[in-house]
Each structure stands twice: as structure tokens, then as C-alpha cells.
Structure 1
Amino acid sequence: MAETLMHAVQYSRYGGGAAGLKHVEVPIPTPKQDEVLLKLEATSLNPVDWKMQKGLLRPFLPRKFPYIPGTDVAGEVIKVGPGVKNYNAGDKVVAMLSHATGGGLAEFAVAKESLTVARPPEVSAAEGAGLPIAGLTAHQALTQSAGIKLDRSGQQVNLLITAASGGVGQYAVQLAKLGNTHVTATCGARNMDLVKSLGADEVLDYKTPDGAALKSPSGRKYDAVIHCAMGIFWSTFEPNLSANGKVIDITPGPSALMTFALKKLTFSKKQLVPMIMTPKKENLDYLVKLVKEGKLKTVIDSKHPLSKAEDAWAKSIAGHATGKIIVEP
């Protein structure tokens, strides 16, 4: 019987933080139509994971309790469901699981073939697991919302990236520098050297007066802002924007949505753009290939065993991780 059970971490109600996580033995899931069963090697946490537990996305998510959190995974295909064409047992992959079903904090999980990509040997499980939500958010903010071409074509764009040492920010800096951009980045003093090493042209300590005011050291106005921090108001951004500058907010709250509506209604040339990432397999595949080629790296804050997943959870809630927090079964 033990063969059909796996170790997983779940929660059964809203709230509770790290203490609300429970270690359980549950049946190994069975892949359905167009799904693959993965033996997980790494799962990365994202702020949305604990925000769901906190109840910030109710009544939509989680769909039901108990819920095994985690969506960004890397592992090995163990079994394929009916209709799966591109994967076989033994294949190494990176996948993004659905928020509706979760499943990442476990020894095994099922993933849809449509959001699973091959992982070459040059890309470690931890590097791959860091990519789905954070990497895709950075990629879409830059290419779709800011209109930056990552082949260096087009005119130079002056870009500001806030919270540049966090999960999304570290990918955004690296991807932006594949395009024709001048990147100003904000982060804490302890991470300034790291953010420079990722390619940022100018780095501001967000606790200094200039950093808090988002002023470019070279006096540039920003054509676009990839806004990955919290608690910065429109009035701080506006004087730093170029005539048609836009702020792309990757975690838009009620005040951001109000600003977005107001700017639209008043035909303002300076815009706030709320962004919700739409996962796309081809984009995830592109990111994995960049890691393979050495053009993109996953900055890893820390690795935690599944048996101590609550430590990783608490670290994510604290909000000061440098890069990605990884849990390994």
C-alpha cells in the first residue's frame, strides 16, 4: 500500500501562515487525458502561494480544501496519460501546474502537457523550477506590456525595475538587457552588487532619498517601469516618467486599478498598466533555452527539503528573499 502514497504538504483552511501547513501522506495522483505524472525534483514558491492561503484570492482560489500549494516545478516524467504525444517516461521537464489544483509541495504531481517543456541537462531542476511564474511574468511585462524586443532591435528604452533582487525582478533585469535598454534598478543595499552583476546599468538603494524618489542617477526619464515592489504610489512614479511613460504593475491592487481607470478616463499619456500573466508554453520553452545557453540564470535564495517546507513558506511571507526559494522532495 505504501507504494501508492506520497509525502505532501497541504493546508485545510484560510490563514495560519507557515503553522497552517500540515505534512500528510496522500495517494499519488493519476495522470488524466493530456497529463503527465512527474516525480518532482524541485518546486519554487511564489508570493501568490501564501496570498491564496491568506484568503486574498477567495472565493476563486483555492477551489477546495485540503489544498497542496505550489505550481512551479521541475522533475522527471514517470507516466503519461492518454493523448500525450511529446513526452515519455524518463524525460526531464519543467512545468507550471494550475493554481486551481496546485500540487507542487509533494513528491509527485500531475502536469498538463500544454504547460510542460523539456529540460536539457544543462539546466538544473532548481533553475528550471524558478522559471514559470516569475520568469514568464518578467518576459510578458517586458515584451508585451513594455513592447521591448529581446533581439536588440528597436530604439533604446529607458527602463526602471523596482524590487530588482526579488523573484520577478532578477529575471526582468537579465531579460531586459537582451533588448536595447538602459536599466535602472532598485533593491536593498545588500543586493546592489548582485543586481549590477545581472546587468543593471544603474542601481538605487530604495532606502536612500534618491532611491525612495526613484530618481535615475543619470537623470533619465523612464519610458517604462516594471513595478515588482509594493507600496509605491503613482505620485512617486509620475515625475520620473517620460511623456508617454507607463508603469507596468505586476501585482495590481485596488489603488492601482483606480489609477489605471483614472488615467484612461482623462486620456493621460502617462499610463498605469495592470498586468496579469498568461502562461504560454512557447515562452517557457524560450526561457529554459536561455538558461541552457547561459544567457539567463535563476538566482536562488535558498533550498529547503520538503520535510521543512514551512521554513521556505515563512521565508516567502517575510518578503526579503533574494531570487527564488526552492523546495526539494
Structure 2
Amino acid sequence: MGNLETCMRTFVTTGTDVAGEVVEVGPGETNFKTGDKVVAILSHLSGGGLAEFAVAKKSLSVARPPEVSAAEGAGLPVAGLTALQALTQSAGVKLDGSGNQKNILITAASGGVGHYAVQLAKLGKTHVTATCGARNIEFVRNLGADEVLDYKTPDGAALKSPSGKKYDAVIHCATNIPWSTFEPNLSENGKVIDITPGISAITTFVAKKLTFSKKQLVPLLLIPKGENLNYLINLVREGKLKTVIDSKHALSKAEDAWAKIIDGHATGKIFVGP
């Protein structure tokens, strides 16, 4: 009831993130009509976005204004919402800049989630330290990061802020960094928000809770909401947030896109579409 079927022939898709045109609406649906341009996040249970047609729930679909390209919109659902939820709900950053200034570390800041997180964090007037590879240092700095570390250098591997700041929160978009590396760099009540938590992260989370530690590791479970996706779309429309396109791949070459994603060194987002 109220599902949308969206045509992907002329729009960009990435995994469960899609931008498309409505070709059919479910019974009783009044918010959308055939021909509407939309951005949506799909359920894994009903199929992914690597198809000419996809079905999306109306609650997770938002209108795409003409000022926002299909690629700009399609990049937002998972990566953008993850960055938004990590910053606003887990780290407590107010994106209108009204809160107390926080010191934020963002790892893998040149990637899909990371490049959104840097931009959103700066909207909240935070001090951002970011890590990335050497080739992306200027890219991340241009996104707004105050300090950028090459993760392969000693200071980068140790996550030490060049200005000596302790982090109130870490938006952890990388992998294989132990808690022992984060802990000495955190403020008294600092927390690490892990967007891809594994077994070690869950173990650390439980241990810190049981010992009543002020420093916490917080596994992030994305809870997508249509209103949050619409909020991000409006930021793009207003020029306050941008989707950086690493590369585009034809649907017939989707395996090339996935190979690049698995390689883990994309700058921004990778897209599949015409």
C-alpha cells in the first residue's frame, strides 16, 4: 500500500540508494504521481537498486527538485543519512551552529560517508580533524576540515590532532583501528561512533558500559527517515552540501563499480546508471 515503482533507465543507482522517476504508485497514494522525480532508499528485503525498475516505500522516498541532479540525490540515502545520524544523534552536533563547539575526528574522510560528515560537521561549527590518504588531503581540506592527517604517517596512524585537541566525538568511517588508538585522544566524555561495527567494536561497547567508563564506543545502527533525507536534499539544493562523484559505471558494468567499492579507496561516491 502506497509503494512506488521507480524507473531506473535514466537515473543513477548505488546499492539500495536510488534516484528515479515514478512510473506507478500503489493504491490510495496521493503524495506522488507518475513522472515525479524521486530519491529513495530501498529495503534489502525487496531487492536492491541495480535494476531498471525498483520498488520503494513512500515513507522512504522524497521529491528530487530540479536543482539537484540524479547523481547528487542518489548519493545521499545511506551515506548522507549515516553521517547525519552519527553527528546529530550520536555526537550531539547541532547543524544550525547553536550548540557548544565540539572537536570532531572523522576517519576515512574522503569516502562516501566521510565526505558528507566533514561538510555536515562544519555546518555545526565544529572543529574537524580528518584522516585520509595523501592524495586526498587537499580534497578533504577543501570540504572544510580544519586539520587533515595522512593516515599512513606516524601522527596519522596515532590519530593525533596537530593542534593537540582532544576529540569529543569520532565519526569512525575506517576499519581496523583498535580502541587503544582512540582512547588517549578522546576528551573526558569522548565517544567513538563506529559506522561499521564488528565483533571487537561490540565487545568494547559492552565492556565500556559495564565498567561505567566516561569514554564510550557507540555502534551505529542506521534508522533511515524520509524527513531526514528531505533535509539533506534541501541542503544540496541550497548549495550547503555536495555529493562528490568518484566515478560512474553503466548498469552492464556494475561489477566494475562493486570492485572499486570493495577496494575501499574511492573519493566520494561511486554510481551505477546510464
Alignment TM-score > 0.5, same fold: yes
User: Residue 195 of structure 1: which of 128, 140, 148 is its match?
Assistant: 140
Find 1:226's aligned residue among 140, 149, 171.
171
TM score, norm. by length of structure 2: 0.98
Q: Which residue of 2 aligns with 1:83?
A: 28
- The code of the aligned residue for 2:198 comes to G
Correspondence for 2:158: 213
1:1-329 matched pairs, under 5 angstroms: 33-40=1-8, 41-44=11-14, 70-329=15-274
Deviation, structure 1 residue 81: 1.2
State the Cα distance separating 1:193 from its structure 2 match.
0.6
1:296-324 CA distance string (max 9 Å, x none): 00011100000111110111111111111
Deviations 1:268-298 (A, max 9, x none): 1100011111000000000000000000000
**Who wins on radius of gyration, i.e. which is larger?**
1
Amino acid at match of 2:13: T
Q: Give the C-alpha shift of residue 103 in structure 1.
A: 3.0
Q: Distance in 2 between matches of 1:234 and 1:84?
A: 48
Task: Name the CA distance, whole Å, in 1 between partners of 2:138 and 2:265.
Answer: 16
CA-to-aligned-CA distance 1:40-99 (integer Å, 9 cap, x gap)? 20112xxxxxxxxxxxxxxxxxxxxxxxxx210001111111121200111101000101
Bigger drift between 97-106 and 296-305 goes to 97-106
Give CA-to-partner distance per residue, 1:135-171, whole Å, 9 cap, x none: 0000000000001000001111000000000100000
Q: Distance in 2 between matches of 1:84 and 1:236?
A: 51
Q: How far apart, in 2, do the equivalents of 1:89 and 1:114 lie?
A: 17
Query: Could you tell me which amino acid in structure 1 is paired with residue 161 of structure 2?
Result: S
Identity %: 78
CA contact (8 A) 2:46 2:55 kept: no
Query: What's the CA shift for 1:234?
Result: 0.3
Aligned to 2:12, the other structure's residue is in SS state strand
Question: Runs of 4+ in structure 1 displaced over 2 angstroms?
Answer: none
Using the size of structure 1 for normalisation, the TM-score is 0.82
Q: Deviations over 1:156-200 (max 9, x none)?
A: 100000000010000000000010200000000000111011100
Q: Secondary structure at the match of 2:44?
A: coil
Aligned alpha-carbon RMSD (Å): 0.7
Q: Per-residue CA shift, 1:105-126, capped at 9, x if unaligned?
A: 0111111111000000111101
